[in-house]
């Protein structure tokens, strides 16, 4: 019987297997940030261990950094960043600190440097590590004790998840993006729908996505509860990687591509579960609730919890509407927002900024609008293209790279009761600041919303 892509990549990395025990996997790339690494380094220090493979480890500062120039004022954030600096120096880890040209959100810098490659195992003490699966590797988030294990051994014990195929037939209509697709997928399968699985996204619409779009999709796999998300590499993947700093060069490149071409699910392979979705029926999607599965097409209205059959879901919807300050039956297009955030490891890449700029060009924003590049390199690229000027002319704020308003660990937050349209990945209660209300959207919807002050698709402008 043939094998799925996930099975192929997994098997190639097993260094020890024993009955009744998790497989011991070799890890090709270990990404580090300031929030989940301090105790792991402490553990190493206490055990008198060194880092096993500093060459396969890379660190960045992202969650706690302010996105305006200047020092970190919050003492907890400051300590976390300083601790990472000390640890990186002591253990010989390459670090991209604030202000460095290579700094950025951990899931943006791996791909941009060509460190993220097809067929790899990639881990990070961060749930959105699933992003890197867009290149056809197995990438997942790990806990701090696992971070320590990987630092010490470059291996990780893990049970192999089951495999799920999400088959996306047809083409995305014009104006419908990767973000709308993944929000629609999560609304369909639920925030627990992917639990216990590695998801492989397949089908025509997925093949047609750019690498940026594929990363957006894989990024949010975790929001459907999946262990990881992946997409088989193809010409789009190779073209994206070619020439990047850490991508193989010359003969090694040819050899790598030859191997990468074998990284696809065999025709006769069997997935443990298959979900089908028709891309051609999709429209711009927004969330109305407090989990990423509570989403609907923008053309619809706030749902009536009374009409939800499942008691748990009904209770969740009631609570969500109360927190969100929404009334059932209100057209989603009539919801007014105070703040728009374009950024994060979901939608903080150059293509996302270009899409937002295209809509904001020659227009003015009515909301507080933060445009935050996912990395300093994205920032540089955007500035070369003059996108910063477009944003500033529209009245939006152009910032330094970081996680920013994706989560309230830095100065970019919502005030209690404030409402945002955000291109990030989580709309949990308090995610963007205590009492803040988040609607997850694509960069296109975010930009159009900034123009009108209400949830809006570009086609409505
Ligand atoms: C802080 C970090 C551990 C966390 C994660 O694991 O994802 C954060 O990045 C997030 O997006 O919530
Ligand atoms: S941008 Fe958001 S989702 Fe991504 S790593 Fe930072 S906090 Fe987590």
Tell whether residue 403 is among the known ligand binding residues. Answer: yes
ipTM over 0.95: yes
Tell whether residue 406 is among the known ligand binding residues. Answer: yes
Q: Mutate which of 402, 407, 433 to test ligand 1's pocket (most atoms within 8 Å of Cβ)?
A: 407
Residues 420-443: pLDDT tens digits?
Answer: 999 999 999 999 999 999 999 999
CATH 3.30.499.10: which residues of the chain?
5-260, 289-460
Report the atom number in ligand 1 closest to the C-alpha of 141.
Answer: 6
Residue 176, sorted as left (phi over 0), alpha (psi -120 to 50) or beta, turns out to be beta
Residues 409-418: pLDDT tens digits?
Answer: 999 999 999 9
Q: Which fold has domain 289-460?
A: Aconitase; domain 3 (3.30.499)
> What per-residue confidence (pLDDT) applies to 318?
98
Q: Is the pTM of this model over 0.90?
A: yes
Computed over every residue of the chain, the mean pLDDT equals 98
- Residue 190 clears pLDDT 90, i.e. is over it: yes
**Is 126 a pocket residue for ligand 1 (Cβ < 6 Å)?**
yes
CA angle 381, 401, 416 (to 5 degrees): 135
Tell me the backbone φ, ψ of residue 43, rounded to 5 degrees. -60, -45
**Is 345 a pocket residue for ligand 2 (Cβ < 6 Å)?**
yes
Q: Whose CA is nearest to atom 8 of ligand 1?
A: 126
- DSSP codes joined into one string, 136-199: SSEEEE--HHHHHHHHHHSEEEEPPPEEEEEEEES-PPTT--HHHHHHHHHHHH-TTTTBTEEE
Judge whether 169 and 201 are in contact, CB under 8 Å.
no
> What per-residue confidence (pLDDT) applies to 1?
86
Tell whether residue 345 is among the known ligand binding residues. Answer: yes
Tell me the backbone φ, ψ of residue 78, rounded to 5 degrees. -60, -45
Residues 109-158: pLDDT tens digits?
Answer: 999 999 999 999 999 999 999 999 999 999 999 999 999 999 999 999 99
> What per-residue confidence (pLDDT) applies to 396?
98
**Separation of CA 405 and ligand 2 centre (Å):** 9
Tell me the backbone φ, ψ of residue 29, rounded to 5 degrees. -150, 130
Judge whether 403 and 425 are in contact, CB under 8 Å.
no
Q: Whose CA is nearest to atom 4 of ligand 2?
A: 345
| Residue 361 burial class via C-beta count within 10 angstroms: exposed 0-12, middle 13-18, buried 19 and up | middle
In the CATH scheme, what is the code of domain 5-260?
Answer: 3.30.499.10
**Is 36 a pocket residue for ligand 1 (Cβ < 6 Å)?**
yes
């Amino acid at each position: 019987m043939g094998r799925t892509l996930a099975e192929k990549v997994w098997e190639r990395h097993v260094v020890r297997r024993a009955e009744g025990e998790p497989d011991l996997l070799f890890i090709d790339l270990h990404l580090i940030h300031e929030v989940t690494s301090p105790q792991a380094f402490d553990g190493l220090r206490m055990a008198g261990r060194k880092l096993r493979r500093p060459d396969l480890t890379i660190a960045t500062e992202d969650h706690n950094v302010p996105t305006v120039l200047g020092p970190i004022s919050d003492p907890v954030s400051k300590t976390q960043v300083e601790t990472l600096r000390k640890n990186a120096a002591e253990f010989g880890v390459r670090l991209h600190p604030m202000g460095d040209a290579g700094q950025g959100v951990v899931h943006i810098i791996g791909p941009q440097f060509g460190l993220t490659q097809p067929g790899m195992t990639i881990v990070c003490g961060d749930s959105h590590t699933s992003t890197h699966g867009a290149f056809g590797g197995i990438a997942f988030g790990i806990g701090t004790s696992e971070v320590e294990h990987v630092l010490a051994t470059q291996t990780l014990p893990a049970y192999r998840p089951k495999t799920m195929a999400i088959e996306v037939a047809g083409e995305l209509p014009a104006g419908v993006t990767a973000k709308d697709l993944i929000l629609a997928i999560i609304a369909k399968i639920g925030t627990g729908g992917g639990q216990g699985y590695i998801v492989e996204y397949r089908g025509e619409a997925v093949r047609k996505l750019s690498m940026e779009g594929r990363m957006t999709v894989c990024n949010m796999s975790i929001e459907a509860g999946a262990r990881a998300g992946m997409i088989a590499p193809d010409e789009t993947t190779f073209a994206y990687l070619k020439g990047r700093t850490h991508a193989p060069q010359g003969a090694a490149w040819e050899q790598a591509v030859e191997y990468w071409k074998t990284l696809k699910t065999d025709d006769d392979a069997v997935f443990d579960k298959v979900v089908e979705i028709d891309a051609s029926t999709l429209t711009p999607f927004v969330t109305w609730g407090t989990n990423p599965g509570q989403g609907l097409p923008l053309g619809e209205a706030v749902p009536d919890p009374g009409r939800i059959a499942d008691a748990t879901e009904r209770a969740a919807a009631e609570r969500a509407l109360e927190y969100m300050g929404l009334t059932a039956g209100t057209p989603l297009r009539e919801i007014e927002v105070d703040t728009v955030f374009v950024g994060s490891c979901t939608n903080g890449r150059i293509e996302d900024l270009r899409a937002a700029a295209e809509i904001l060009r020659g227009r003015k924003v009515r909301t507080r609008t933060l445009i935050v590049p996912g990395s300093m390199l994205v920032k540089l690229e955007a500035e070369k293209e003059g996108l910063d000027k477009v944003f500033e002319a529209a009245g939006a704020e152009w910032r330094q790279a970081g996680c920013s308003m994706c989560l309230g660990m830095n100065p970019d937050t919502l005030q209690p009761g404030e409402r945002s349209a955000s291109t990030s990945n989580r709309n949990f209660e308090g995610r963007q600041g205590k009492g803040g209300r988040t609607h997850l959207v694509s960069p296109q919807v975010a930009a159009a919303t900034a123009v009108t002050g209400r949830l809006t698709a570009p086609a409505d402008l």
